[in-house]
Structure 1
Amino acid sequence: MQGDPHGYFHIVLLCLCWYVISSFASQVTKKILTIHPLPLFLGEFQFAYTALLAALCCIIAKGSLSFHSRFPEGTLPQYHDKSHPQHQRTIFTRPTRHVLLTVLPLSIFQFLGKYFGHTATSLVPISTVASIKTLSPVCIIILQKVFKVSNSQLGSQVYLSLACIILGVWIIVSEDNKVYSRVSSLADSNSQQYSSYGILCAISSMIIFASQNIYGKGVFTYKQENANRLDRAVAPLPLYTEKKGTLTVPESIKYDKLTLMMYISLVGFSLSFGCFMSLEFSTVYDEIRQFGIGCIPWYLFFINGTFHFLQAMITYQLLGEVSTLTYSIANIMKRIVVVTVSWLAAGGQITANQLIGLLLNVFGLFFYERYNSKKKKEHYLQQINHHKTLPKNKF
C-alpha cells in the first residue's frame, strides 16, 4: 500500500465507515435500552443475529470466489484454494471438541461483558461508558501483574500515559455527572438518571473484556511467516499440535475469524439463555401478549445487530491491511468520535472540562499504544535472533 493513493483512500474510507457505524450503533443501543431496558434480551438477539450473518457470509463465500477474495486471509474458511493446507470442503467447520473448548471461555467473557455493558448503557451516558472503556490498558497491566502473565518492566512513559488516561476518564465521568444531573433535573420523570450502579457496570464490562484480551493472547498464537510481516496487525488464530510417533508435528490448524465469531455467538447464546428465561422472558412475554409483537422495536434490533456485525468485519479488514500502530491510532480516533457524537446527540453544550478530559485520554492512549507497539517489535526480534542461534536438528 506504500505510495499507492488508492490504497490510502481505501483505508481512510474504511476508517470513516467504521467511525460512522460505531457512532450510530452506540446511539441505537442507547435508544433500544431506553425503550426496553432489557440487556439480556438485547444480548440474546445480538448473539443469534451475529451467528446468522456469519453463517450467511460463509455460504456466500463458498459459492463466490470474488466475495471470498475481498477479505484478508484468515477472515473466512479456505474454500477455493485446494492446495492450501487448510482447504475446507464443507461450508462450516465441524464443531469439534477443540473448537468448543477454545470458544467457551471467550463466549463466557462475551456474555458477561455484553450484560454489564448493556446495563451500563441503559443507566449512564454513552460518553461515560465509552470513556471508561479506554481504561482497559490500565486494567490489562494490573491483571498481568496480579496473575504474573507478564514480567516486563514498565518505563516512565507508560506510567505517564496511564496517569493521563485515568485523569482524563475521571474528568469526563465527573463532568458527565454534572451535565446530565442538570438535564435530568429540568426534564420529565422519564429522563435518564445518572447512576453510580451504571458506572460500576461499565467498569465491570471493561474488566471482563480486558480479561478476555489477556486470555486470548494466552490461548491464541500467531506465527509470523517472515520479518516483513512484523508490523502487520493480523489477529491471532489458534495453532494446535499433534504427536505423530515420537515427534511433535505442528498441524497449523487455524480457525478463521468468521468460524470463531459464529461459534462464540452460538455458545454465548446458549450460556445466557437460562438467565434470560429467568429474569427477562416474563417481561417480554407480557408485553407481547398485551400489546402484540409490534411493541418491540424490531427494526432497531436489526439495525443494531447489523451495525454490530459490520463493525467486526471492518475491524478484520483493517487488521489485515494496516500496521499495528496504524490500527491502534485508528481505534483511538474511533473512541474520540463515539464520545464526541454522544455529546452532540445528547443536545448539551460540550464543556471545556469535557474537552480537557478527552484530550488527556487521547494523549495517554496514543503514547501507550506507541510504547506497546515498540515492545512487541523488540520482543519479536529477540525471538528471531534466539531462533537463529539454536542448533538445527537433523532427522
Structure 2
Amino acid sequence: MLSLWSFKLQTPPKITKPFILALLGPALFHTIGHISACVSFSKVAVSFTHVIKSSEPVFSVIFSTFLGESYPVSIWLSILPIVFGCSLAAVTEVSFNLQGLWGALISNVGFVLRNIYSKKSLQSFKEVDGLNLYGWISIISFFYLFPVACFVEGPQWVQGYHKAIESIGNPMTLYIWVLISGVFYHLYNQSSYQALDEISPLTFSVGNTMKRVVVIVATVLVFRNPVRPLNALGSAIAIFGTFLYSQANAAQKAKKKLEGEKSS
C-alpha cells in the first residue's frame, strides 16, 4: 500500500484520529481471522481449510441475527447445504485435526465480526474506497500482530528459521516464497475490492464461488492430498450452498434497494 500511495497509483485517504479509532476493531478481528487461518493451514490440508471457510455465510447470518438483522427464509435455507456439506467433508477428511478445524472456524468468526464491525463503525467514512480501507486495516493489523508474534514465538524464531532452511535447502528460496506469498495475497484482496466496484454482485458471487473451487482443486493437485469420494461430495455441497447463499443475499439487497427507491 505504501508503494501504491508513493507512486500515486492509489490516492491516499485523509487520515484522522476518528478514522484510525474506527479501524481498531475491524483490524483486531482481521488479525484474529488471519492468524487462525494460518494455524488451520499448518494442521490440515489446505483444501479442507477452504471447505470449512466456505461456511463463513453461516456465521454471518447467525451473528447478524443476534445484532437485530432479519433474513428471509431463502437465506436460512441456503445455509443448510453449507452446514451439511462442511460436516460431511470434516467427517471424511483424511487429514482431520481438531486444531485445524477450530482454526478455520475461528477464522470465519474473525472475518464475519470484522465485516459487521466495519459496517457499523465506518459509516462516517464512506469517502474511503475499499482498497484504502483494506490497506489501513492491514497496516494496523501488523501493529497488533508484531508484538504478539515476538512474545509467543520470539524464542523459537532462530530454531524455526534453521529448520525451515534445512527442509527447503536454500535460504533464498524461503525468502522468495515468503515474498511471493505476501505480494500475491495482497493482490488477491486488492483485485477483489476493485472487482466489486466494477461488476455486479451476481457476477462477483459467481466468481467468488469459482475461486474456492479453483483453490481446492489446485491444492489437491499440487500437494497430492488424498480425497475420498464422500469428502469431494461434501465439499461440492458446501460450495454449492455458498453459491445459493450469495444469490439469496443479492436478491434480498436488490429488494431492499427497490423498496427504498419506492418509499423515497
TM-score (norm 2): 0.89
Match of 2:138 among 262, 265, 272: 265
1:206 alignment partner, one of 99, 102, 108: 108
State the partner residue of 2:65: 145
Structure 1 residue 174 corresponds to structure 2 residue 91: yes
One-letter code of the match for 1:330?
A: G
Query: Which segment drifts farther, 349-358 or 276-285?
Result: 349-358
Q: Partner letter of residue 242 of structure 2? A: L
Q: Distance in 1 between matches of 2:53 and 2:243?
A: 15
Superposed displacement of residue 346, structure 1? 2.9
**How is 1:52-131 mapped onto 2 (pairs within 5 angstroms)?**
54-60=1-7, 62=8, 68=9, 76-77=10-11, 92-131=12-51
Displacement after TM superposition at 1:121 (Å):
0.7
Question: Looking at both structures, which has the greater relative contact order when contacts are Cα pairs under 8 Å and sequence separation is at least 6?
Answer: 2
- Indicate the SS of the match to 2:70: coil
Aligned to 2:80: 163
For 1:281, the equivalent position in structure 2 comes to: 154
For the pair 1:368 / 2:255, whether they are aligned, the reply is no
Alignment partners' CA distance in 1, 2:45 and 2:133: 31
Evaluate the alpha carbon distance shift between residue 270 and residue 175 of structure 1 in structure 2; reply closer, same or farther with a 3 A threshold: same
The alignment partner of 2:198 has SS state of coil
Give the secondary structure class of the aligned counterpart of 2:108: helix
Q: Is the 8 A contact 1:165 1:364 kept in 2?
A: yes
* Contact 1:336/1:358, CA 8 A, preserved across alignment: no
The structure that is helix-richer by fraction is 2
State whether residues 138 and 162 of structure 1, in contact with CA within 8 Å, keep that contact through their aligned partners in structure 2: yes
Aligned partners of 2:108 and 2:231: how far apart in 1?
A: 21
Q: Which amino acid aligns with 1:370?
A: Q
Q: For residue 174 of structure 1, what is the amino acid of its counterpart?
A: V
Q: How far apart, in 2, do the equivalents of 1:138 and 1:209 lie?
A: 12
Judge conservation of contact 2:19–2:125 (CA < 8 Å) in 1.
Answer: no
Partner of 1:354: 231
1:244-264 CA-to-partner distances (Å, cap 9, x unmatched) read xxxxxxxxxx12334323322
Residue deviations 1:164-195 (CA, integer Å, cap 9, x gap): 1111111112222xx33xxxxxxxxxxxxx42
Shift in CA distance, 174/295, structure 1 to aligned 2, threshold 3 Å: farther
Indicate if the aligned counterparts of 2:40 and 2:49 stay in contact, CA closer than 8 A: yes
Displacement of 1:287 in angstroms is: 5.4
Separation in 2, partners of 1:93, 1:372: 30
Give the equivalent residue in structure 2 for 1:315: 192
Structure 1 residue 151: Cα displacement: 2.8
Unaligned runs of 5+ in 2: none
How much does 1:283 deviate? 1.4
RMSD: 2.5
Per the TM alignment, residue 126 of structure 1 is displaced from its structure 2 partner at its CA by: 0.8
Shift of residue 358 of structure 1? Answer: 2.6
**SS across alignment from 1:255:** coil
Give me the identity figure in percent: 24
Aligned residue for 1:30? Answer: none
